[in-house]
Structure 1
Amino acid sequence: MDKEHMCSFEERTHGLQLFGSPRLPVPLSRSVASSIQTNVTFEGPTVVHFRLQTPLGVLRQVKTILPVEPFKQYVEARWYAERSVPRAVAVALGIIGGRALEQDREVWENKIYHKKPVLMSGDGPFLDFMRWYGQFYSTSSRNFGYDW
């Protein structure tokens, strides 16, 4: 993006699995996922916009992250869907998004900064994202090991 405070990228889902197990794929989810294009835009570290382009229409999620005290955040996610998207589909995606947020909780509560994280194929431009995100840390963050 041409704005310093924003970062944007595209994501692709390769299918859904029950309980996160590769042995329990959700029927037809692989073909459905291939028809969905997801764009994610970060406006600084506290506002995230998701845009899902589907054959049924566009769905959007706006997620806000509000620090309320050291090491504690209030996260809120709101979903919006075009009228062409069946309500049941919008509700299902909202539930899936909510569960994904809960799965991420364990990562957030236990994350440790690694200057050179172990990445896998498909992780995307993570190091570029880390450098971009680093502009929002204060100079005192270096005291906690964040060297951007």
Structure 2
Amino acid sequence: HLKVYQIGPGIVHLHFRGIFGSGVFVQNLIPIEPLHLVLTHNLYGTRYLPLFVGKLLLYFEAVQVDRDIMIWNNKMFRARPQLLKEDNLIAKYRRWFTQFYTENSPRLTLKAEDGNSW
């Protein structure tokens, strides 16, 4: 049994319950500077969750993050992305996410060596 809670743009709680016990993954994404984030995962389990199960869950989480890094490093923003019907949650997620930004929010602008903005 899984329940996921997105708490703002940088905190996710994944609550789980299974035959080995229950617990929660807490993921924090902290911006350090433009294009530099620190991602941490913590696992909190009940005393009935065997240590080897917790370590195994964290290992599989690390493998998944490692696979995602290539995607994150090559992502680009598209104001109107082409989405499949099955991707309707992406649009809903983007609308929800806009509440954390205003017109006064800092924006990243990259400058080429000749002074032109990208």
TM-score (norm 2): 0.76
Quote the Cα distance in structure 2 between the aligned partners of 1:67 and 1:126.
22
Decide which structure has the larger Cα Rg and report it. Answer: 2
Note if contact 2:20-2:53 (Cα within 8 Å) is conserved in structure 1.
no
Note if contact 1:79-1:94 (Cα within 8 Å) is conserved in structure 2.
yes
**After superposition, what is the alpha-carbon deviation per residue over 1:2-58, rounded to whole angstroms, capped at 9, x for unaligned?**
xxxxxxxxxxxxxxxxxxxxxxxxxxxxxxxxxxx2221111111111111212221
Supply the RMSD in Å over aligned alpha carbons: 2.2
Establish whether residue 63 from structure 1 lines up as the match of residue 63 from structure 2: no
For structure 1, list consecutive stretches of 5 or more residues without a partner in the other structure.
1-36
**After superposition, what is the alpha-carbon deviation per residue over 1:71-95, rounded to whole angstroms, capped at 9, x for unaligned?**
1101111111112222111110110
1:89 to 1:43, Cα distance in 2 relative to 1, 3 A: same
Establish whether residue 73 from structure 1 lines up as the match of residue 37 from structure 2: yes
1:48 to 1:112, Cα distance in 2 relative to 1, 3 A: same
Establish whether residue 50 from structure 1 lines up as the match of residue 23 from structure 2: no
Note if contact 2:5-2:12 (Cα within 8 Å) is conserved in structure 1.
yes
Equivalent position SS for 1:40: strand
Quote the Cα distance in structure 1 between the aligned partners of 2:35 and 2:104.
15
1:61 Cα shift? Answer: 0.9
Which amino acid is the alignment partner of residue 89 of structure 1?
V
Note if contact 1:81-1:90 (Cα within 8 Å) is conserved in structure 2.
yes
Equivalent position SS for 2:99: helix
**After superposition, what is the alpha-carbon deviation per residue over 1:104-137, rounded to whole angstroms, capped at 9, x for unaligned?**
212221111232343474x572221111012223
1:96 Cα shift? Answer: 0.2
Aligned length: 106
The equivalent of 2:50 in structure 1 is 86
For structure 2, list consecutive stretches of 5 or more residues without a partner in the other structure.
109-118
Match of 2:81 among 107, 116, 123: 116
Quote the Cα distance in structure 2 between the aligned partners of 1:124 and 1:55.
33
Which amino acid is the alignment partner of residue 135 of structure 1?
Q
Equivalent position SS for 2:44: strand
